Chain A
C-alpha cells in the first residue's frame, strides 16, 4: 500500500470514528485539531484502524504518535 492509499483509508476511518465528514488528514494533524479526539476516542480510533488494516499496535508506539504523520509511518512499517 502506498502512503496516498493509506492516507485515504485512514481519512475514511477518521470520518467514521469522529462522526465528522469534514475531516481532512494532513501529516501535521494532531488531536488538538480535531474536535472530540481525546484519550477516550483515541483508543476507539486505534481499534478501528487495527481491525480495518489488519495491523497490531504496540504500547511503546503510542507515545511516538504525535501527529497523523507519525501514525502513517508506524502503520507503513507494519504493512
Chain B
C-alpha cells in the first residue's frame, strides 16, 4: 500500500476510525497490528525476518541493560548490533561484493545481476535497521531505559507511516508518545490531514511531474546535449526534495492523525548558505542519526587531533552515508565528495566569516552567491549519485561543462506545470525563511475560511494536475 494509492487511503481511514473509537488502553495495539498488517501486505516474504529483527531488538536491549556496567553489556551490545545489521548488509551489498570479488580474482563473473537478482532489497530495511541500532546505542549510553513492553518496541520499529522510508526516529521520542496517556487533540487531526495533503501536492503534482522530463533524459544521457542535461540536472535536486519531502510529509501527517509527533526531514534546504548548513536542512532524520551515532563518537575519539580529527570524522561519516544509499561507486564517490565539501568548509571557516563581514549591509548579495554555490555543489554530487557508474557521471558532467548554445530538448507541458507548482513551494519556503509576510501565513492557518479555501484548492490541484499511476518513490530503493 504505497502512500499514493487508494488502498492506503482506505487503510488509513479504517485504522483512524478504529483508533479513535477504541478504548485508550488498546489504542497502541491497534497501531501495532495495523502496522504489522501494513508491512506484511507490502512484503510478506520478508515479514518473518522483520519480526525476528523486532524481537531481537527487544531482547538485546533488555539483556544489555541487565548487565549494565559490566563487560557482558558490551558483549550483548556488539552481538546485538551485529545481528541487526547483518540482514541490511546482506540484502544491500551481497551483489556488489560478489562483483568486486570476482573482478578481483580476475574472473569476470558473468551476469552477476541475474545470479543475485533474487536478493531484492526489502523496502524499509535501511530505515528501521538504523532505528533499531539507534535504540541499542541509546540504551548503552544510558540515554533511555530498555523497554520491557514488547508491543511498544515492535510498534516503534513497525509504525506504518515510518517503516518504509522514514523519517528515521528515535526510541526516546516515540516510546514516550506510544505510552502517553494524553488524549488526542482535534488540532492534531486537522494538522495531520493538512500535512498529508501538502505532501501529496509535493509528490504527485511536482515530483512525479518533473520526473516525466528528468528520468528519460538521464536514461538517454548519451544522446542528449549539454544544455538538456543541464536542465535535467538543475531540476533533479528539486525532484528529490519534493519526492522524499512529499513522502516524509505524508508519513509525518499520517502519524499526527494518531497524535504522534515525528521528526521533520526537510527545513527549506535551498536557502542553506553553506554545505554544513545544507546538511542541517536536508534529510535531517538521517543526518542527525549519522551525527549522533557515527560522527560524534568518532570525532570525540579523535578530538586530540583537533581539525584533522574532525575532518577524518566527517569523511568517514559521509562515506557511510553514501554506503547507506548503496554500495556502488557513484554512491561512494557521492559520500566522499560531501565529506570533502565539509572538510573544505572546516578549513575555510575563518575566511568565510571574513567574507560575510566584507559584504556588510549587502548581506543579500552574499546570501545569493552562497546559496548558488551550495546548489551547484549539491547538484554536481547528485549527478554523480544518480549515475549508474562513474563513466556516466563523467560524460554527463563534461557535456554540461562544455555546452554551447545548443537547443535543449524540452517537454513544455511537463516542465511548465512542474516548475509552476514548484515555485509555489519555493516561494512558501522563501517567505518562511526570511519571515516576510509571516503574519499572512498565520492568517491562512488560523482563519478557518481561508484555510478551507486554500486546502480545497490544493486538493483540486492534486486531482487535476497530480500524476497518477506512479507508485515509485525514489527512496524506496535505499
Contact = CB atoms under 8 A, between A and B. Distances in A.
Interface string B274-300: 001000000000000001100111011
B356 to A, nearest CB: 11
A38 interface: yes
Interface stretch (A26-34, A43-51, A67-75): A43-51
A4 interface: no
A11 B153 CA distance: 43
B440 interface: no
A12 to B, nearest CB: 19
A62 B292 CA distance: 10
Chain A binding surface SS class: helix
Contact of B291 (A39, A50, A60): A39
Contacts, number: 39
A58 to B, nearest CB: 9
A79 B256 CA distance: 46
Most-contacted residue by chain A among B141, B306, B346 (CB, 10 A): B141
B142 A60 contact: yes
Interface residues of B, number: 21
B276 A40 contact: yes
B349 interface: yes
Given A39-B295, A59-B141, A59-B297, A44 B276 contact: no
Contacts of B349: 36, 40
Most-contacted residue by chain B among A38, A40, A50, A63 (CB, 10 A): A40
B299 A43 contact: yes
A19 B349 CA distance: 12
B353 interface: yes
Contacts of A39: 291, 295-296, 299
B237 interface: no
Given A36-B353, A40-B346, A43-B309, A63 B143 contact: yes
Contacts of A47: 303-304, 306
A62 B296 contact: yes
A43 B292 CA distance: 13
Nearest to A38: B276
A46 B303 contact: yes
Contacts of B350: 19
B168 interface: no
B296 A44 contact: no
Contacts of B307: 44
Interface of B: 141-143, 276, 291-292, 295-297, 299-300, 303-304, 306-307, 309-310, 346, 349-350, 353
Given A36-B353, A63-B292, 17 more contacts: A19-B350, A38-B276, A39-B296, A40-B276, A40-B310, A40-B346, A43-B299, A43-B300, A43-B309, A44-B306, A46-B300, A47-B303, A47-B306, A59-B141, A59-B300, A63-B141, A63-B143
**6 A-B pairs closest in CB distance:** A47-B303, A43-B303, A43-B299, A60-B141, A59-B300, A40-B310
15 contacts: A19-B350, A36-B349, A36-B353, A39-B296, A39-B299, A40-B349, A43-B303, A43-B309, A44-B303, A46-B300, A47-B303, A47-B306, A59-B297, A60-B142, A63-B292
